[in-house]
Amino acid sequence: MGRTAFFVSDGTGITAETLGNSLLSQFEGIPFRRVTIPYIDTAEKAAAAVARINTATQEDGASAIVFDTIVNVDIRDAISRAQGYMVDVFATFLKPLEQQLGVESSYTVGKCHSINEFSRYHRRIESVNYALDNDDGGRQQQYDKADIILVGVSRCGKTPTCLYMALQFGVHAANYPLTMDDLVNPGLPDILMQHKKKIYGLTIDPFQLSAIRHERRANSQYSSLSQCELEVREAEKRFKAEGITFINTTTFSIEEIATRIMDDVGLDRRQL
């Protein structure tokens, strides 16, 4: 039986989504319909949200699950009267923290995902721009500014990992694709060897790589299993010969890949 899960907030709803989805992921046998309702900052909006929750509960024949991060007490009370099972994130965690720390929370709406310090926000934007500029070997003259350079064959996850690290942690991440022009020669390209300490390799199962490439160029040499096996084998051979740490991305999400890389090389998880 499916259930509806609501993420209700007087801000963006990102915090409610993050915590709620983390908890719901532990219940693999239940199909959840996820609904985010952000910016519930008036009594009228709260009433409309309650109506949606009640409708979902009636249609499902079971209580909707409601994760909320409402700061305003009156609006939170209104939401709590909905016909759903309430998981009040702030009420659950802020009060005990206030008691432990001996001070009251600021109870500021959207504090976690707002521009609290312009310098931090600017670094995030700068890092994203850097990742875009240095995607697929672009602007190699900027590698001296990189915190890390991801290297691997085409479609092994380099670009989304770079963008994730940039957006989430302000990391200057570049990436370089190993093509057949690189792989027919021994070793790694000179431009990479100049920054060897910043290099981190990505590899992938050839069968998975072939499937991914087929979505881009079906029935081509580029997506053939034999080509994928050749490229992956040659890339891994170079990583091992040069003593470059690498990770197989086949079964990992982008978040897991980025976390493992940052942990391996000791990159700071900057709070942005």
Binding residues for ADP: 152-159
Residues 79 and 51 sit within 8 Å (Cβ to Cβ): no
Query: Alpha-carbon distance 158 to 202, whole Å?
Result: 7
Residues 134 and 225 sit within 8 Å (Cβ to Cβ): no
Q: Provide the annotated binding site.
A: 152-159
Query: Alpha-carbon distance 144 to 191, whole Å?
Result: 11
The dihedral over CA atoms of 95, 99, 104, 105, expressed in degrees to the nearest 10, equals -50
CA separation, residue 215 to residues 157, 160, 210, 247 (Å): 15, 17, 9, 23
Work out whether the CA dihedral 205, 207, 212, 214 comes out positive or negative.
positive
Work out whether the CA dihedral 218, 220, 224, 230 comes out positive or negative.
negative
Q: Give one DSSP letter per residue of 80-98, joined into a string.
A: HTSSEEEEEHHHHHHHHHH
The phi, psi pair for 32, rounded to 5°, reads -100, 135
Work out whether the CA dihedral 230, 232, 238, 241 comes out positive or negative.
negative
Query: Alpha-carbon distance 262 to 270, whole Å?
Result: 11
